[in-house]
Amino acid sequence: MGGTIKQTSYGLLNGYAALMPAGQIDSLALGTEVLHVSPDRRVRSYLDVASLVAQGGSTSIGTTGLPTTTYTGKGVTIAVVDSGVSDHDDLKTSSGSSRIRVRWSALSSGSSDDEYGHGTHVAGILGGTGLDSSTPYCFRRFRGMAPAVNIVSLKVLDSTGQGQVSDVLKALDWVVQNRTTYNIRIVNLSLGHPAFESCLTDPLCKAVEKLVATGTVVVVSAGNWGRLGYGSVTSPGISPSAITVGAMNDLNTLAVSDDVITTYSSRGPTWPDHILKPDLVAPGNRIVSLRREGSYLDQTYPANRLLAKEYTKDPKLIDKAGVYYELSGTSMAAPIVSGAAALMLEKEPKLNPATVKARLMKTAQKIGRDPYTFGAGYINVTGALGSTAVAVVAPSPHVYRNPLLSGQLAVEDTGALWGNTAVWGNTAVWGNTAVWGSSAVWGDTAIWGNSAVWGDTAIWGDTAIWGDTILTQGD
């Protein structure tokens, strides 16, 4: 048909990637051996650049219930599928060796290093030691969730933070092939694309579902399109078995009571499957983590660099730019959950992905009445580490029209879905104040999918959304 094969096969999918003339796609789709054809969509990181002086970092992480514990993620490896992860003092062991076990790139050109600056920041959130902010001169420390975790860097985003679905699929295949060698227990995906098709046919979602079935926890950012309203969670966050994470703003205080959802955090249910997402929320606003000096973000947004004087009184550094950087987005919330999962797996190495997800959701603090915004609540690491409940499977439930109450919505019972109503019932997971709403309140267009919301290039076209991925607010 005049096309060129890009990838002959995928271990997680019975398919291939190809470049084809647009006029031949219909003929291909009609082939008797072809079940489905999906575009090789662009994926982007989910960050929101804040330009104000940093106030987050360790304070933000502290509000999640990070316990005083001996658990550090030791022995657990997290695959960071992102723009690459660069060397940093905070990603080294106490003896000075790098905890980045492997650097791999799906891109045909360029190095495996982080040219964009996003992947290094994500890695610091889930696994930074805070070494460079822990000298005797320092008065603030920026420590990640699991400071002893090992990292596998799988680069799929280029120097501008863009990539292709086909490259993400290559990375997930790499995880399957190498997960035993490196003890990869968790995959962090702080990226995605708008949901244009069901999770049953979306290539990324199908790959995520199969990856979870191998025993790998997959944590995904929900997306930064919450300002568009309900039904804005992106792929692969629409995957039922993924742990999909929204972003909270802690307002720079230690108290959880004043925390609010960020305006950009994507809301469920998913389109077009009506799955209740996100699964939970975590701090994601103005998070301080590792700076990749000279990267695209570092050069384009220099105001996001922390000055050394903002965390140290060292006279040799006082007038210099520091080694930390501030970003916001659901991209920053996801690695907090990935790091928490690493602590859980260090404590109990035999936990399956379903139990990790179910414990995180059940123990989350019930902070709002809107599950389409907050999911099961605000991550509570202490509670998750203390939980003993076990789940066999933990797909996120579907939302549907209540057949008994006209115009009202209902949700599948998580107890029935997850195998134990007494342990995982809706009240236990979602709280007793959750309001499922009505079609009159939420509207068919937002929840049930309508071309006016999702199918129009005027909304999801390059100039409308993708050309403005780097937002200007951090709220």
| Residue at token pair 């790959």 | 207
Are 264 and 224 spatial neighbours (Cβ–Cβ below 8 Å)?
yes
Return phi, psi of residue 46, to 5°.
Answer: -115, 80
Note the Cα 11 to chain centre separation in Å: 23
pLDDT recorded at residue 244: 98
Instruction: Tell which wins on pLDDT, 127 or 41.
Output: 127
Average pLDDT over the chain reads 82
**pLDDT confidence tier of residue 14, bands split at 50, 70 and 90:** low
- Whether 36 is a known active-site residue: answer no
Q: Read off the pLDDT band of 55 (50, 70, 90).
A: very low
Distances (CA, A) of 126 to 338, 342, 355: 6, 9, 20
Of 58, 60, 113, 118, the active-site residue reads 118
pLDDT at 357 over 90: yes
469 class by beta-carbon count within 10 Å (0-12 exposed, 13-18 middle, 19+ buried): middle
Please state which of the ranges 75-89, 175-189, 253-267, 300-314 shows the lowest mean pLDDT.
253-267
Q: Is the pLDDT of residue 450 over 70?
A: no
How far is CA 391 from each of CA 353, 356, 357, 417, rounded to the nearest angstrom? 9, 8, 9, 10
Lowest pLDDT segment from 244-248, 270-274, 347-351, 453-457? 453-457
Residues comprising the chain, all counted = 475
- Residue 419 makes CB contacts below 8 A (sequence gap 6+) with 391, 392, 393
Task: Say if residue 19's pLDDT is above 90.
Answer: no
Q: Which residue has the tokens 């690493």?
A: 342
Q: Read off the pLDDT of residues 364-395 as tens digits, 9 standing for 90 and up.
A: 998 878 899 999 999 999 999 999 999 999 99
Give tens-digit pLDDT for 419-431: 777 677 777 787 7
Backbone angles phi and psi of 175, in degrees to 5: -60, -45
The angle at the Cα of 83, spanning 309 to 286, to the nearest 5 degrees, equals: 40
Q: Which residue has the tokens 């709220």?
A: 475
Does residue 71 surpass a pLDDT of 50?
yes
233 pLDDT more than 70: yes
Burial 252-289 (b: 16+ CB within 10 A, else e): eeeeeeebebbbbbbbbbbbbbbbbbbbbbbbbbbbbb
* Residue 56: pLDDT band with limits 50, 70, 90: very low
**What confidence score (pLDDT) does residue 23 get?**
62
Predicted model pTM: 0.86
> Is-catalytic flag, 331?
yes
The residue-averaged pLDDT of 397-402 equals 86
Strands 77-82 and 184-189: parallel
d(CA 309, CA 135) in angstroms, rounded, equals 13
The residues near 157 (Cβ < 8 Å, ≥ 6 apart) are 43, 44, 45, 82, 83, 84, 116, 118, 119, 163, 191
Q: Which of 331, 338, 387, 396 is catalytic?
A: 331
Work out the angle between the directed axes of helices 165-182 and 203-213 (0-180°, nearest 10): 10
CA distance 337 to 343: 10
pLDDT at 42: 64
Strand ranges in 267-358 using DSSP code E only, listed in sequence order: 280-283, 287-290, 305-307, 321-327
Strand partners, 105: 155
pLDDT score, position 36: 66
Considering the candidates 48, 82, 167, 250, report the single residue annotated as catalytic.
82
d(CA 457, CA 334): 28
State mean pLDDT over 292-320: 92
Backbone angles phi, psi at 26, to 5 degrees: -60, -40
Is a pLDDT exceeding 60 seen at residue 49?
A: no
**DSSP annotation of 25:** H
Q: Are residues 377 and 365 in contact, defined by beta-carbon separation less than 8 angstroms?
A: yes
- The domains located in the chain, with CATH, are 1-37 (no CATH), 42-398 (3.40.50.200)
Average pLDDT over residues 25-36: 59
Rounded to whole angstroms, the Cα distance separating 87 from 95 reads: 15
Catalytic-residue membership of 48: no
